[in-house]
Amino acid sequence: MDAKTFDWRAFLTRWSEEWADAQGDLEDLSPDDAEDRQRRWLGVDPAAEADIATMKARLGLEMPPSYKEFLRVSNGWRHAGGFVWMLAGTREAHWHEDASGLGEDFDEFWGEEDNPQEVRAQVGLWSRALQLDVESDATYVLLDPEDVGPDGEWAVRVWASWRASDPERYPSFAAFMVAMHQEFHSLEAGRNEPEGAPAFDNETTRAQDAAVLRARTAALRGRHDDAVRLLLEAQRYGRPRATELLHQLALLGGPHGEGQRQPHPGDPRFLTELLPLHASDLLNSGRPADDWPFADPDHFPDTAHAAAVTLREVSEGTYRYRPGGTFGEAVDQARELARWGNTDAAWRTLRAAIPQWEPLGPDHIAPVGLLADPVLAPVLTSERRTELLATPRGGEAGPAPTPTGDQDPGGLSWLARPDALRPVRSSPCDFRVVLVEGVAPDGLPIRLGSSPDTALSPPLRRWEVDRHHRPAQRSFSGYDDRALLSVGRAGAGWSFGFEENPSTSFSTERFTSPAPAASAAGGRAIVVWSEWRRHTPVFHLSVAQGGTLLYAFTVRDGAIEDTTGNVPAELTPTALGFETRDAAAQTAAAARALDAIAELYGVTLPRLALTEGRLHSFETVSWIRPPGPGDTYMTITVG
């Protein structure tokens, strides 16, 4: 903000007139406010150059440019925002000299060595600053002569005893005054007007409301950065629609607005967009669901039942986003793909349909309800959310953004990386997987279920699987190893069942591969068990077809423990480099084995779905043979 071009007269005149128009009856005002309202001016007479020169001599410093220009228009100011009732002119401004006694405590906190430089620079503020507040609601306005910009402007810092934060910084006096004008507008916009009182409507509110309309159009054309810039300024002026639109952009990766309005049943977005997101926020916050007012028929008789159903579905992970129309059809198709792990295809389906998305009202600029859908929300990675925002929609035109790439890596060797399934890991995670040809994922329980009536669970996050299937398990047997497999599609014609960190360690003597049972109805089945716990790597591979084991091998810490059948040359432990005790070499051999399996059989696994998504799951038959003669084992019962 350039003090040389900033029109103080026009700015202060507009502010004064807006303030006067916002006041109530004269008899309800203080004498000073009544006088200011009648003359429609919050300032005083301009300061003469002699006044400014006297001020310089008294304080010993030349004042910053924008403050001097202000003084030349008004030598002081009333009602700077909502909490500063009088700002100093040439006579009242004075060095604070820590008159409040706050300097010692603030300096000790600001001066801590681990604070960033911008925090440490505040040390000594209370002693050196020029105080501009004359009357206020326990609010200090301080000009800092040691925080000077290249334009010669001193920073203004504002601190109120009732705000639990550091002083707020403004780069100049002009910037501070603009912010106080915005604060005045924000407070007036949020004030309940008495019945019959004129609406708070003026040149500024109309200009900002027009900016909100331009921002909405920009957002629908994919120019979300332009929309954010306009909306952030409109929000500072308290324009209510700005907050609602900013909140939608924030949900999809833009800057966060200052809160959001409570959803209301009268809004057309209530059931499909606002209510599910509010339910997710409630559950994620840990607050009790009983406190949710939207399910109370006494308060919301028309929508309480639907709200209760939505809350239950969001809680159980069964909620489905149903936007309707052409986009709604694509959402259904994408969900079907995502629930079987094909998140890349799900996103491509959504991407193609975004231009056909239609808003439900003037305050709707994006399909944010997707974020409440438990199956589709993980599909929307941060990069994809940005792409969604940059895609023209809602009947508006604009250039399409550069498509984001697929998230799932090719091959299977990514499973051998330390961070494959969990971030910040020093070694790969243990896992076991069965890959079955010629059967859909929902057919796996028929082949491998722990009982004839085994059914798939609803889509679950990985940490929910055990709790869902075994909510009250009390007995644990050394000869019972029923896996909990999350299922999905593993490429053309293949399905997978995957378990991360099996509860038991691999035992060559007791292990029974589920591959023959999985392939009993025809086709092939592949089982891989990879284990890195206790620093003793184990890698097992077994392949069956038509119910018959074709080949298998097990390598433990560089030693081949078991080999069966004719292992393809490219999959022999020797060819893969397993015969070494070096940990890094073992990891590299496992990676080569996994990629060789992927290439030989055309299978893949969805990393995003396994790590972030929700998948159906079931409990399998035991992967350990029954105990034989002379075998001993322990059963532990808890409670």
Q: Are 262 and 293 in contact (CB under 8 A)?
A: no
Does residue 194 carry a pLDDT above 90? no
Cα-Cα-Cα-Cα dihedral sign, residues 361, 383, 411, 430: negative
Q: Are 271 and 310 in contact (CB under 8 A)?
A: yes
Q: What is the pLDDT of residue 580?
A: 87
Residue 398 in tokens: 């604009």
Q: What is the pLDDT of residue 635?
A: 59
Residue 499 in tokens: 């378990």
Length of the chain: 639
Does residue 358 carry a pLDDT above 70? yes
The percent of residues above 70 in pLDDT, for the chain, comes to 94
Q: With 0-12 CB in 10 A as exposed, 13-18 as middle and 19+ as buried, what is 129?
A: buried
Q: Are 572 and 376 in contact (CB under 8 A)?
A: no
Which of the four pLDDT bands, split at 50, 70 and 90, describes residue 281?
Answer: confident
Cβ count near 66 (within 10 Å): 26
Cβ count near 444 (within 10 Å): 25
The Cα-based distances of 198 to 15, 16, 25, 194, 205 in angstroms read 17, 17, 11, 9, 14
Q: Which regions of the chain carry the CATH code 3.40.1580.10?
A: 8-96+125-173
3-state secondary structure of 579: coil
pTM attached to this predicted model? 0.87
Cα-Cα-Cα-Cα dihedral sign, residues 437, 441, 443, 445: positive
Nearest partner of 342 among 441, 485, 447, judged by Cα? 441
pLDDT, mean over the chain: 91
Q: What is the pLDDT of residue 291?
A: 76
CATH number for the domain formed by residue range(s) 8-96+125-173: 3.40.1580.10
Q: What is the pLDDT of residue 597?
A: 97
H helices of 60-116, where?
65-71, 103-110
Q: Are 433 and 543 in contact (CB under 8 A)?
A: no
**Tokens 């070499």 correspond to what residue?**
585
Which of the four pLDDT bands, split at 50, 70 and 90, describes residue 461?
Answer: very high
Q: What is the pLDDT of residue 376?
A: 97
Q: What is the pLDDT of residue 477?
A: 59
The Cα-based distances of 354 to 217, 243, 347, 389, 540 in angstroms read 16, 23, 10, 10, 44
Residue-wise pLDDT tens digits, 97-116: 999 999 999 999 999 989 99
The percent of residues above 90 in pLDDT, for the chain, comes to 75
